[in-house]
């Protein structure tokens, strides 16, 4: 099911769907189609980034693209129309495209919202709120200027230069340019526009922010400025400036909110243990040669993950969550094992569903798929939901240990440090051994020090003597 409406028997609109987890907005990263392109049912037309992941959106009908309502880099609320499609091209004159707006204009109050929960791209949206969203202020662009601005958003020059409109005290600029001016502390009313039709461009804002220069005649732009690409809208920087401002949005915004919420909600306790993992490293080398493990990636993280699963089985009370509203501790009889992954868009924590039921080869396959999907930016919101405990491998960065922050809704997170050759007392003699440091953070509301210590000690004992994977399991 998708989110769409009929504007007529010929033209259909596709709205920004709730791609899962009750998200309220998404940023359009890239359009794969342009007005005039033919599309088919199920064809991906754009890529959007939510607070959790980048998702490709397919259009749910055949036809010809009539209009793209928002340029790349724009954050759009769920339910806003993002594309209009002519589903019966050639059957008559197409109506004029809707006039673009400088900022979103509230929909007419006469349109009654549908009742109940509406079907969305993934699952169903959140229940209808009893409160109404406050209308956002916006001023429609006058008709002649609208064509120029629409052409600018589409990256094409208008057929004829439009005369400068009467702005009634409000400078004419695209939303990204307004945001740039706001970030740089520039009042658009003081900026001299050089764009066609009196439109203020990014260069105008940068010129206003630059140090004063000797007066020089302003040269009008030869053509309407093309719509800026999304990456250019991401970082705000002035040549020679000592600071760079990066808008907080998407995955970074979600990380910040989650970490602040976790750190100031769950009382964290972190315990550490240093352990000799020489036998584990030998086991990893042997498994790489095992024909039953052919085709899957074998590394120390695989054995560490299995060790944590065994430790949870021996201490099941650690696998729980705190329900503040109900004042209950929710015991989980399954383990969705989260793996913290660094991606170009930021840190994400996808999880392996029902990891406790998987054999070692199955766990290795799941780990490999999880990591590759995350690095390619294809992790879905569903893959990051429902985790119970997490592993973060800071050792890959050469770090010995850390104090990890809990993933919201989880009870524990295990940090694995770098595995290094160190002097170690082994059988009464000092020998070079493979050594690492483990750190376990847990929610002290539901995990006491004794329970947390037992879990960490069990993981360390297994890594020191991997045969315990058999005897304890």
Is 444 in the active site? Answer: yes
Q: Which of 162-166, 302-306, 364-368, 461-465 shows the lowest per-residue confidence on average (mean pLDDT)? A: 162-166
Catalytic residue of the set 333, 356, 426, 444: 444
What distances in angstroms separate CA 382 from CA 10, 121, 332, 394, one per listed residue?
35, 12, 18, 25
Which tens digits make up the pLDDT trace of 20-75?
A: 555 678 888 889 999 999 999 889 899 888 766 778 889 988 999 999 999 998 88
Using CB atoms within 10 Å of the CB of residue 465, give its burial: 0 to 12 exposed, 13 to 18 middle, 19+ buried: middle
Task: State yes or no: pLDDT of 181 exceeds 50.
Answer: yes
Output the pLDDT for position 433: 97
Pairing status of strand 328-331 against strand 337-339: unpaired
- pLDDT band per the 50, 70, 90 thresholds, residue 240: low
pLDDT at 287 over 90: yes
Residue 128's pLDDT is 46
- Least-confidence region, from 52-56, 121-125, 201-205: 121-125
The reported pLDDT for the residue numbered 146 is 43
Q: How far apart are CA 352 and CA 331, in angstroms?
A: 18
**The pLDDT of residue 150 is above 50:** no
136 Cβ contact partners less than 8 Å away, ≥ 6 residues apart: 103, 104, 105, 106
Residue 274 has pLDDT above 60, yes or no: yes
Q: Does the structure show a pLDDT above 50 at 103?
A: no
Residue 208 pLDDT greater than 70, yes or no: yes
Q: Is the pLDDT of residue 417 over 90?
A: yes
> Is the pLDDT at 125 greater than 50, yes or no?
no
> How do residues 420-464 score in pLDDT, each as one tens digit?
999 999 999 999 999 999 999 999 999 999 999 999 999 999 999
Instruction: Name the residue with higher pLDDT: 337 or 240.
Output: 337
Mean pLDDT in residue range 112-122:
43
pLDDT value for 472: 93
| pLDDT-derived band at 259, boundaries 50, 70, 90 | confident
Residue 91 has pLDDT above 90, yes or no: no
Q: Is the pLDDT of residue 348 over 60?
A: yes
What pLDDT sits at residue 141? 41
pLDDT reported for residue 429 = 95
Rounded to a whole number of angstroms, the CA Rg of the chain reads 28
Residues 6+ apart with CB under 8 A from 165: 141, 142, 144, 145, 172, 197, 198
Distance, CA of 148 to CA of 30 (rounded, Å): 22
Question: 37-41, 128-132, 282-286, 358-362: which has the minimum mean pLDDT?
Answer: 128-132
> Over the stretch 214-231, which tens digit does the pLDDT of each residue have?
444 445 444 434 444 444
**Rounded Cα–Cα distance for residues 296 and 361 (Å):** 7
Residue % of the chain over a pLDDT of 90: 42
Residue with tokens 């054999």: 359
Banded pLDDT at 93 (limits 50, 70, 90): low
Percent of the chain with pLDDT over 70: 71
pLDDT for 18 equals 75
Per-residue pLDDT tens digits for 379-394:
887 888 899 999 999 9
| β-pair partners for 122 | none
The mean of the pLDDT values for the chain is 78
Find where tokens 């259009």 sit.
59
Measure Cα distances from 50 to 259, 261, 291 in Å.
Answer: 17, 19, 41
Mean per-residue pLDDT, 342-363: 89
Report for 40-44, 238-242, 273-277, 376-380: range of highest mean pLDDT: 273-277
Reported as a single tens digit per residue, the pLDDT across 74-89 is: 888 888 999 999 988 8
State yes or no: pLDDT of 465 exceeds 90. yes
């Amino acid at each position: 099911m998708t989110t769409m409406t009929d504007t007529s028997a010929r033209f259909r609109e596709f709205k920004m769907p709730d791609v899962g987890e009750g998200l309220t907005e998404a940023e359009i990263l890239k359009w794969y189609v342009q007005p005039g392109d033919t599309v088919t049912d199920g064809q991906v037309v754009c890529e959007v980034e939510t607070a959790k992941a980048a998702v490709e959106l397919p259009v749910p009908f055949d036809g010809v693209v009539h209009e793209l309502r928002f340029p790349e880099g724009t954050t759009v609320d769920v339910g806003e129309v993002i594309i209009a499609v002519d589903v019966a091209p050639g059957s008559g004159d197409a109506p004029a495209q809707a006039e673009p707006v400088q900022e979103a204009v509230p929909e007419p109050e006469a349109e009654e919202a549908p009742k109940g929960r509406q079907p969305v791209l993934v699952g169903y949206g959140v229940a209808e709120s009893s409160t109404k969203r406050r209308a956002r202020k916006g001023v429609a662009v006058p008709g002649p200027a609208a064509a120029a601005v629409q052409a600018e958003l589409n990256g094409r020059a208008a057929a004829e230069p439009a005369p400068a409109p009467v702005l009634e005290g409000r400078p004419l600029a695209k939303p990204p340019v307004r945001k740039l001016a706001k970030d740089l502390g520039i009042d658009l009313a003081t900026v001299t526009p050089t764009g066609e039709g009196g439109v203020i461009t990014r260069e105008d804002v940068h010129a206003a922010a630059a140090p004063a220069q000797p007066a020089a005649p302003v040269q009008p732009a030869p053509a309407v400025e093309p719509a800026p690409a999304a990456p250019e809208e991401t970082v705000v920087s002035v040549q020679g400036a000592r600071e760079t401002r990066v808008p907080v949005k998407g995955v970074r915004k979600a990380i910040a909110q989650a970490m602040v919420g976790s750190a100031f909600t769950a009382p964290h306790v972190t315990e550490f243990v240093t352990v000799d993992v020489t036998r584990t490293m030998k086991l990893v080398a042997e498994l790489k040669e095992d024909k039953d493990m052919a085709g899957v990636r074998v590394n120390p993280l695989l054995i560490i993950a299995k060790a944590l699963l065994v430790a949870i089985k021996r201490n099941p009370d650690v696998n729980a969550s705190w329900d503040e509203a109900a004042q209950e501790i929710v015991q989980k009889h399954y383990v969705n094992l989260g793996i913290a992954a660094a991606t170009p868009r930021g840190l994400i924590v996808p999880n392996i569903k029902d990891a406790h039921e998987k054999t070692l080869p199955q766990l290795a396959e799941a780990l490999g798929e999880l990591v590759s999907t995350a690095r390619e930016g294809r992790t879905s919101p569903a893959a990051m939901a429902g985790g119970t405990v997490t592993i973060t491998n800071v050792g890959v960065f050469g770090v010995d240990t850390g104090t990890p922050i809990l993933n919201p809704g989880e009870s524990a997170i295990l940090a694995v440090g770098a595995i290094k050759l160190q002097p170690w007392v082994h059988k009464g003699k000092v020998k070079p051994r493979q050594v690492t440091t483990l750190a376990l953070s847990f929610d002290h509301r539901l995990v006491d020090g004794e329970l947390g210590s037992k879990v960490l000690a069990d993981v360390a004992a297994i890594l020191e003597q991997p045969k315990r994977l058999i005897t304890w399991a």
